[in-house]
Amino acid sequence: MSIHSRPKKSLGQNFLHDTNVIQKIIRSFDAQPTENVLEIGPGRGALTSMLMEQLPHLTAVELDNELAASLQMTYGDRLTLLHQDILSVDLRAIAAERGKKLRIIGNIPYNITSPILFHVIDTRDAVQDFMVMMQTEVAARLVAKPRTKDYGILSIFAQYYAAPRLLFGVSRNSFFPIPAVTSAVVSMNFTTPADPTAENDVLFRTIVRGTFGKRRKTMRNGLKSLNVPPEVLDTLSVNLDWRPEELTVADFVLLSNQLLPIAGIITPLVSDDEHA
């Protein structure tokens, strides 16, 4: 790519230039020619150029005017370039159009990592897997286990809806301009169904967000503030003296299923669009 305009901080532009890292990402992703691949934020095309060596067609979403135009010019018809915000892209429509679930890859703008994750999670029926570069701290939260400082809402949702794997770390020096934080590549797979499964997805999310919203509270107090009546509290199988970070993903799923009969009276404390 020949575009060398000033990187825009507002768009989270830190371009990968380390060939070894680029090759490692592409090798781990292992795109096959018949697959329906979507790249988020191709930028100057560090990953794009290698993906184009493996694929007859690629869909990419890039918000930057100049970079979008340049990519389109370079790759012509082989690249469907959506010049828009990834958060407004209808992933289901792209999967339907090409008759295949999406494989998503990207070195994404870090300031919208959580919204992107939730956008993908919310359309997971159209997504096979997702492999992205993110800030190391966020990657650590995605794969965190109970009773650790990183374990929270993001860990539970990521581990419930997908199977996040921390693949490798990436040094700050692999980017231009050099970012303030270190990075890591994470992959998530949406093809294995959760076990156990929450019977009411909204209720499950409400319980997780509602109890973790008051992280230092015990489950008893967290559930009380969600309007769970005392007589129902007594019937639940979780230890009510525990704090939310002591419960596993499965504990939260079972809890939300036990609360199904009173779903109608549970009051969300936090709106569902507040991202983790």
Quick one: 125 exposed, middle or buried, by C-beta within 10 A (0-12, 13-18, 19+)? exposed
Which one of the spans 79-87, 120-128, 210-218, 253-261 is the region binding ligand SAM (CB under 6 A)?
79-87
The three-class DSSP label of residue 274 is coil
Residue from the set 37, 38, 46, 238 that interacts with ligand SAM by CB under 6 A = 46
| Total of chain residues touching ligand SAM, rule CB under 6 A | 24
- Please count the CA atoms within 13 angstroms of the CA of 167 that sit on its side-chain side: 21
Residue from the set 107, 123, 159, 256 that interacts with ligand SAM by CB under 6 A = 107
Q: Which residues pair with 168 in a beta bridge?
A: 185
Residue from the set 41, 164, 210, 222 that interacts with ligand SAM by CB under 6 A = 41
| Nearer CB in complex with ligand SAM: 54/227 | 54
Which one of the spans 62-70, 72-80, 124-132, 264-272 is the region binding ligand SAM (CB under 6 A)?
62-70
- In the complex, what is the shortest distance from the CB of residue 155 to ligand SAM, in angstroms, rounded to a whole number? 23
| Nearer CB in complex with ligand SAM: 110/151 | 110
Q: Please state the separation of Cα 216 from the chain's center in Å.
A: 26
Residue from the set 30, 66, 85, 125 that interacts with ligand SAM by CB under 6 A = 85
| Nearer CB in complex with ligand SAM: 68/142 | 68
Q: Which residues pair with 37 in a beta bridge?
A: 103
Distance CA 82, CA 39 (A): 10
The tokens describing 152, both together, are 């929270």
Residue from the set 35, 52, 58, 64 that interacts with ligand SAM by CB under 6 A = 64
Contacts (Cβ under 8 Å, ≥6 apart) of 240: 218, 219, 220, 223, 233
- In the complex, what is the shortest distance from the CB of residue 98 to ligand SAM, in angstroms, rounded to a whole number? 19
Angle (deg, nearest 10), helices 65-75 and 46-54: 20
Q: Does 26 bind ligand SAM (CB under 6 A)?
A: no
Taking CA atoms, 185 is separated from 14, 82, 112, 162, in Å, by: 15, 24, 16, 15
Q: Pick out residues in 132-151 that bind ligand SAM (CB under 6 A).
A: none
Q: Does 16 bind ligand SAM (CB under 6 A)?
A: yes
**Pairing label, strands 165-170, 183-189:** antiparallel
Q: Which residues are at the interface with ligand SAM (CB under 6 A)?
A: 11-16, 41-44, 46-47, 61-64, 67, 85-87, 107-109, 112
